[in-house]
Amino acid sequence: MNMNRYLVRNFSSASNLFVNAKGKQPVRIAVTGASGQIGYQLLFRIASGSMLGPDQPVILQCLELPQAMNALKGVSMELDDCAFPLLKGIVQTDDPNRAFAGADYALLVGARPRSKGMERGDLLKANAEIFSVQGKALDKNANKDTLRVLVVGNPANTNALIAARNAPSIDPKRFSAMTRLDHNRGLAQLAEKTGSSVTDIEKFCIWGNHSATQYPDINFGSINGKSLTSIINDDEWVKKNFIPTVQQRGAAIIAARGLSSAASAASAAIDHMRDWTYGTNGQWTSMAIYSEGEYGADKGLYFSYPVIVSPNGKYEIVKGLQLDQFSKERFEKTRAELVEEMTAIKELLP
């Protein structure tokens, strides 16, 4: 195992080392849907330093619906009771303008989750309004020089598009949608299949939409320099088992739990923001980001690509990959779905 990478990625190994916490200014982290299932996992991990490290103080700016303000008060009381050394303030509000005031980070989680039997398409219109309002509020209030936005609420890619389009004075590259959970799900399946550790698997990625059309691609993957396809050597498993398992994992969790994934989603959001801030140590990860048309996705879509993040927090799409015929077909399917989603809400785009 690459120990350097392990240390960079596992802040909890230094969780008792708050030695530098006095040196840095707090950053402002807005979290919407703060008292929901994911919010309840996320806030505590952010406040403990899992996201930005043991020397970065944070102020949590929590947004909820008016009817959930009492629940948010309870969550805030629990945050107080943890006596987190890094937590320098908690804002509780139902006003997006307050929640996003001076925000350096915004995790847009609040949305209606998909319930059993409900299609993601049904969620499009219900959620589009929320993300128009929040895009406008970000545009007016956030810290445009530092802001990083992660949309978790579904349909995440299209919600990111709506939020970004409603924030014309913010660089669209500061918005992203979460496919890190899909990426992590893929790593876990591959580690199990190959009897390796998740940290041994390199150059795996998710293309496209955070939905059942996403394409988890192992064709460039390797373990200790040996190609994943040759290690697995089972094309049928890849096509009939691995890809559908990753694509359908969200639905499988809903079927099993009666609720959508929450702890794993919060964990992926932490991974996404941490890596976007501190870099991926040369490794690939997956982020749904503003497309300039790379690999033939339509310019302006929020499309999941393999990316490498440099230590200064700049992400770059991995370039020059040759997709085979099967991959091209999968790519096209998820691209077409994202175009369809965009078309369905186009009257809401400014």
> Residue 155 binds what, of ligand LMR, ligand NAD, none (CB under 5 to 8 Å, by partner type)?
none
Tell the smallest beta-carbon distance from residue 185 to ligand LMR (Å). Answer: 8
Binding residues for substrate are: 114, 120, 154, 185
**Does residue 183 carry a catalytic annotation?**
no
**Interface with ligand LMR includes 308 (CB under 6 A)?**
no
Q: How many CA atoms lie within 13 A of 189 on its CB side?
A: 22
Of positions 8, 133, 253, 344, contacts ligand LMR by CB under 6 A: 253
Catalytic residue, chosen from 165, 210, 274, 330, is 210
- Residue 166's closest CA among 127, 138, 126? 138
Pick out residues in 193-252 that bind ligand NAD (CB under 6 A): 210
From the list ligand NAD, ligand LMR, none, pick the one residue 231 interacts with, judged by a Cβ distance below 5 to 8 Å according to partner type: none
d(CA 10, CA 286): 19
Rounded Cα distance between 128 and 151, Å, is 12
64 binds, among ligand NAD, ligand LMR, none (CB under 5 to 8 A by kind): ligand NAD
Closest approach of Cβ 211 to ligand LMR, in Å? 8
Is residue 110 near ligand NAD by the rule CB under 6 A?
A: yes
Segment lying near ligand LMR (by CB under 6 A), choices 85-93, 234-242, 246-254, 321-329: 246-254
Out of ligand LMR, ligand NAD, none, which partner does residue 251 contact, by CB within 5 to 8 A per kind?
Answer: ligand LMR
Answer yes or no: are the C-beta atoms of 289 and 205 closer than 8 Å.
no
Gap between the Cα atoms of 179 and 303, Å rounded: 9
Place of tokens 């709506």: 162
Amino acid occupying residue 330:
R
User: What is the C-alpha to C-alpha distance for residues 44 and 202, in angstroms, rounded to an integer?
Assistant: 30
Q: Which residues contact 221 (CB under 8 A, 6 or more apart)?
A: 190, 201, 202, 203, 204, 227, 228, 229
CB 272 within 8 A of CB 52: no
Question: Could you list the active site residues?
Answer: 210
The binding site for ligand NAD (CB under 6 A) comprises: 32-33, 35-39, 63-65, 68, 109-111, 113-114, 130, 152-154, 156, 178, 181, 210, 260-262, 265
